[in-house]
Amino acid sequence: MYREDVHSTALLVLVLLYFFIGAPPYGVTQSNALSNEYSGDLLNQLIWLFLAFLAVPLISRYWQSVKLIMTRSVPLIFLMLWCAASIIWATEIDVSVRRVVRLFLVSMVAVAIVASPISAQKLLRCLIVVTGMVVAVNFAFAALFPNLAFDVSGNLTGLYSHKNTAGIMVMVITLIWISAARHEELPLRRAVYFVGSIVGFFFVVRTGSLTALTVLVFVPVFVIGTTFLARQYGGKLLFPASLVAVTVALSAMMLMSFKGIRIADLPEVLLADPTITGRVELWEWMFGEIGNRPWLGYGFGSFWNTGAANSLQSFGPNWLQTIQQAHNGYLDALATIGIIGLFFLSVYLLSAAISGIDLLRNRCSQDVRALVEGLWSITIGSLVYNLTESSFLSSGSVVWFFLVFSYLVFRACAKIQKPGQLNVIPGFESYAHSPRPQ
């Protein structure tokens, strides 16, 4: 007998293996890397076409669920449509078309998994098992091939050849395990999850990736604190918290103006390394390029790593030839889809953040809470991560996949609007009937 949950689980496992083992989150220099945005384009397309082929039966069988999810995901739809529209004015149309198609295929596969009858418990268990295997494989690789698993500076890179790649991979894994450990009811399993979280934390420390480490230190504290306040006070704190945040930001700007400090001087004032390991010079160059096409951008996927095409950065300083991203996801979005596209992206990110915390305010099973909290942690972590790295709208990025996947889960579990309407994912029905804490 056909088992849809087996089909969707297998599809999820294949996607996770692709991101965690087959393709680092952003292009690297090896020509055979699946995530290399140019030389790996053909292989990427073949892999995603195969995954999309596996997703089609699920989408067809559960078309009503797919429609329900998509009608609740308008910000994501507008963002995707704008990326597609940018092909019209893209500087490298052929490259842009291929990358837009792959972007849509990623979302298509994520929708198929979320719309299928896979329970929250099975989703969580699948994430735990696969990510645990990934960490184990990385440690085994480091033990067997230490000359390949460590870079010249002694940083642990594992399977990924770069410390930042290794850092973000294990960062995502550790956030999932921390949430699972917090909400697991069985003592032995909880202990295993906590040990796994500690191992993941020290793995990230050993990679030397400061961005990933910052996320791991900041995000769990933020998520735990925000969830507690949301459950205690509900939406009553939303306006005061927003007012405080705006007041602090305006006060800081006024103080900077009074002291004669420019925004460009902030890295030197706040950090020991005023260049943020060379990023400031890169960002200054990026702002100059963005100023040439501020509203529409250069077109999706048409700015970085276009291979034999007439690469825009080839006209810049020589050091740009080895760089394949702006090391800031917001700047990369601004460069490729412009101010209008960045607005759509911001609305989508805000919707994702609000949808996640809105679910965490409800009473539900521990499995559901662990899954949603883990996915929301990755969502919040992506906002921080993209301040100094770039993964927004990158179809080869594990961060972007989880950002889309998380949002679709949040929207699938949104509070029902019509009597008798059920949530899409089995195991999330409690959201339809559990009142908000008073």
Q: Is residue 168 part of a domain?
A: yes
* pLDDT value of position 46: 77
Mean pLDDT across 19-48:
53
423 within some domain: yes
Q: Which residues of 376-410 are buried (b: 16+ CB within 10 A; e: fewer)?
A: bbbbbbbbbbbbbbbbbbbbbbbbbbbbbbbbbbb
Residue-wise pLDDT for 80-133, tens only, equals 999 999 999 998 888 888 889 889 999 999 999 998 878 888 899 999 999 999
Assigned domain for 266 exists = yes
Look at residue 269 and tell me if it is in a domain: yes
The arithmetic mean of pLDDT across residues 270-296, rounded, is 75
| pLDDT at residue number 422 | 41
pLDDT higher at 44 or 52: 52
Count other C-beta atoms under 10 Å from residue 144's C-beta. Answer: 9
Averaged pLDDT of the chain: 80
**Confidence grade of residue 3 (pLDDT, cut at 50, 70, 90):** low
Answer yes or no: is pLDDT of 245 > 80.
no
Give the range among 5-9, 20-24, 47-51, 330-334 with minimum mean pLDDT.
Answer: 20-24
pLDDT at 430: 44
Does 47 fall in a domain? Answer: yes
Burial class (CB in 10 A: 0-12, 13-18, 19+), 59: middle
Quick one: pLDDT band at residue 205, thresholds 50, 70, 90?
very high
The packing angle between helices 366-385 and 163-183, to 10°, is 150
Specify the number of domains making up the chain.
1
pLDDT at 305: 74
Residue 211 lies inside a defined structural domain of this protein: yes
Residue 64 domain boundaries: 4-433
The closest alpha carbon to 329, from 186, 168, 201, belongs to 168
From the list 191, 220, 54, 206, the residue with the least C-alpha distance to 139 is 206
Crossing angle of helices 93-115/4-17, nearest 10°? Answer: 140
DSSP 434: P
pLDDT band at 380 (very low <50, low <70, confident <90, very high): very high
Average pLDDT score over residue span 259-274: 50
> Is 114 within the bounds of a domain?
yes
